[in-house]
Amino acid sequence: MKPGLLNCDTNGRLFIILAKTNRPDPRFILSRAGADAPQSFAWDLKNLGPNSKLSLAEQGFGFPCPKLSDLFTSRSASFSLQAVFDSNPDLRSANAPGNLFSRPQPFRWESPGPQLVKIELTEQIPPEKLPAETEYLKFIKLQSKLLTQFHGRPIFLRAGIVLPKDFKREPDRRYPLCIRIGGLNARYLTTQNLMAPKSEFRKTWLANDTPRFILLHLDGAGPLGDPYQVNSANSGPYGDALVQELIPFVEEKFRARAQPHARVLCGTSTGGWVCLALQIFYSDFFNGAWASCPDPVDFRALELLDVYHETNAYMDKERDERPSERDGHGRVVLTMRREVGVENLLGRGNSYTLSGQQWGAWNATFSPRGFDGLPLPLWDPQTGNINADVARQWEKYDLRLILERNWSTLGPKLRGKLHIASGEADQYYLNNAVHRLDESLAKANPPADAKIVYGPGKLHGWSNLSLLQMLNEMQAACGSP
């Protein structure tokens, strides 16, 4: 490590990645869980300094193989080796600003016997900098009083803004607000891709016949991964920060109508769950949610896991490995044990609960906080055994259950406001939970008038609506100024 670059926290998690190629840099494929996952090792370190020594062969948490000696017992192998030191406490990612890393270097494993390899953390991911703004693209970084108080250090809300056509030429016009949430860990910078010069989104957004909205794209990054934009015992009051701080700021700065009937939500995957949750939790604040392939809306179908009635996350009742992903033909390509395994690699304490990835983000959002200040695991990271007491706490975020238990109050407020599209061949089995919610809402009294549609043979990410069709439906809900 170069002392001149050590202007970061010296406590963190060190990763050594052994990839078959250096294109891309091994650090960019660290989170892969499938057959192409690189062999990696991780250590939690305190006071990291120059000349630190570690043993790849016997120490550290290894994935996919626990030890190199288990993988290569009698033959040599060549790799591209890279190290990353993750010390950023506010953005849960190995590639977060301030983290140190080495340049990729060739490494040949010769078994048996120890080998000394010198690795220098000479590079540092630069500090965050908001992109340059354009006529239609604006960016926000707002310190949240609520989240700062919760975490005891400055925490910021980031967002991307896409302005409507003629925003400058109509200075007295006020617009409805469309809050957009992307997939897992999707950053606010997604708006740059949306408004790229030749993108279909830009073409539709700026067309003469497109309804005029201000688009607010939320940021899917936080101290424990994607915060899911709701109040959480672990991530903090992200929901309240959104409705009390960020949205009022945006509405005032960019001339939004600032009325409940003129706020609508949309999202895909993680964003699909988030927009439904926000509409349910803040039913008087928003006026409709358009969700496609939402994350599990019924925890009896958390992918293929029934959180409340099963005892092990990794194996089903027949002791078979539980799938977590399939391909378009229905063939299993990833199991729960394998997927959580890479999250155990990424998470401090060798636990998925601090990985910042899918299972870690769900656990941080839905689980109670332990006495150590960390999220209580729904299941043991190594064995997969489920903690039934923690599972009961998840009921607070089970959207189907919340609606059933509170329908007499929520029903009149949500009638006709829930729109869901789900592909029946969703790779992550998310359609199963949508069907369970659909069955529940079909029995609701007063009627839900929810619009739930399914795409036979359609994969994750499918929607029945084009951007223009969705904006037309939103405009009808928001009404005239």
E-strand stretches of 225-319: 231-232, 236-237, 263-268, 289-292
For the record, the structure tokens of 153 come out as 């250090």
Residue-wise pLDDT tens digits, 382-417: 999 999 999 999 999 999 999 999 999 999 999 999
User: Hey, how many other C-beta atoms are within 10 angstroms of the C-beta on 229?
Assistant: 30
Residues 6+ apart with CB under 8 A from 35: none
Residue-wise pLDDT tens digits, 199-225: 999 999 999 999 999 999 999 999 999
Is the pLDDT score of 250 beyond 90?
A: yes
Give the mean pLDDT of 58-64: 84
Give the mean pLDDT of 295-315: 98
Domain 137-298+398-478 listed as CATH 3.40.50.1820: yes
Q: What is the pLDDT of residue 93?
A: 86
Is the pLDDT score of 5 beyond 50?
A: no
Residues 6+ apart with CB under 8 A from 286: 179, 260, 263, 264, 265, 278, 279, 417
152 conformational bin, left if phi > 0, alpha if psi -120 to 50, beta if neither: left
DSSP-derived secondary structure for 103-163: PPEEEEE-SSS---------EEPPPP-PPPP-SSEEEEEEE-HHHHHHHTS--EEEEEEEP
Domain boundaries, the chain: 3-124, 137-298+398-478, 300-396
Pick 465 or 48 by higher pLDDT: 465
Q: What is the pLDDT of residue 6?
A: 43
- Among 3-12, 16-25, 58-67, 102-111, which stretch is predicted with the lowest mean pLDDT? 3-12
Q: What is the pLDDT of residue 2?
A: 42
Tell me how far apart the terminal alpha carbons of the chain are, to the nearest angstrom.
59
Is the pLDDT score of 280 beyond 50?
A: yes
- Per the confidence metrics, is the pTM higher than 0.75? yes
Residue-wise pLDDT tens digits, 67-84: 776 666 555 678 899 999
